[in-house]
Structure 1
Amino acid sequence: MSKMVLTEQLVQIFCKLPEPGKVKTRLEPCLGKQGAADLYGELLERVVARLKPCFNTELWYARTGTVEFLRRFPRLEQKQQVEGDLGERMLYSMSDGLARSEKVVLVGSDCPQIDSGYVAQAFAVLK
């Protein structure tokens, strides 16, 4: 039986919730726990702003704290990552995406230079 494809391309943004002491911990000596969390949140917002207008996009979050932050993205499909190591979580989300889309690109949430052109190149490689 063939899968029903709802979309040709899907971008999945993998993230943690920006909880102080849980993200960007190597930057804490310079920025403090709250500063590191704030930076992470800004990077995530930047990735969403660059990719959401151009692609069917989902936000896959690891539940590390309160989901209050997710209210910043009311028009973005949000899914909680499954338990397990990073590889298991990525495999699950990719499998979920491929059940609904022909091509899936998974990106990290703190890639300050990622843009739609870079992701479009990734989709082009996935022939």
Structure 2
Amino acid sequence: MKDAFILFLKYPERGKIKTRLSTEIKDEAAYELYLCFLRDISVMAKQVKAEIIIVYSGPDHATFDDFPQVQSLRQRGSDIGERMFFALQDVFAKGFKRIVLMG
């Protein structure tokens, strides 16, 4: 049985991530904090006995340095509910039987 662990992420772009937090701290600090979050998530995700798949919002063909060799898909849909629905639909279509989505 194939299991998948979807990481539902935003691509790290200065000024476009942690925007509510960046009202209290500078964009650069919010960006660096988000990179730290990604590093922590990558350590945790590697302990899961499932294939990791990143489903992200951001530019086409983005890469995530903390997740080398990990398949990624771009999010689609007009709101978070649709984006999560399509993420699950797309990963089930790849033949996975059990999926956990974390975002």
d(CA) in 1 for partners of 2:65, 2:32? 15
**How much is the aligned-residue C-alpha RMSD, in angstroms?**
2.1
Deviation of the 1:64 alpha carbon: 5.3
- CA displacement 1:85-111 (0-9 Å, x = unmatched): 111111011012223211111001xxx
Who is 1:36 aligned against? 30
Deviation of the 1:21 alpha carbon: 1.6
**How many residues matched?**
101
Percent identity of paired positions between Structure 1 and Structure 2: 29
TM-score (norm: length of structure 1): 0.69
Deviation of the 1:46 alpha carbon: 1.2
Mapped pair 1:22 → 2:16: yes
Who is 1:93 aligned against? 87
Q: Which runs of at least 4 in structure 1 moved beyond 6 Å after TM superposition?
A: none
Which is helix-richer, 1 or 2? 1
TM-score (norm: length of structure 2): 0.82
Who is 2:56 aligned against? 61
| Compared CA separation, residues 36 and 66, structure 1 to 2 (3 A) | farther
- Kindly name which structure, 1 or 2, has the bigger radius of gyration based on alpha carbons: 1
Aligned 8 A contact 1:22 1:64 in 2: no
1:4-23 alignment runs, 5 A limit: 7=2, 9-23=3-17
Who is 1:102 aligned against? 97
Who is 2:78 aligned against? 84
Q: Which amino acid aligns with 2:55?
A: W
Q: Which amino acid aligns with 2:69?
A: R
d(CA) in 1 for partners of 2:53, 2:90? 11
Aligned 8 A contact 2:54 2:70 in 1: yes
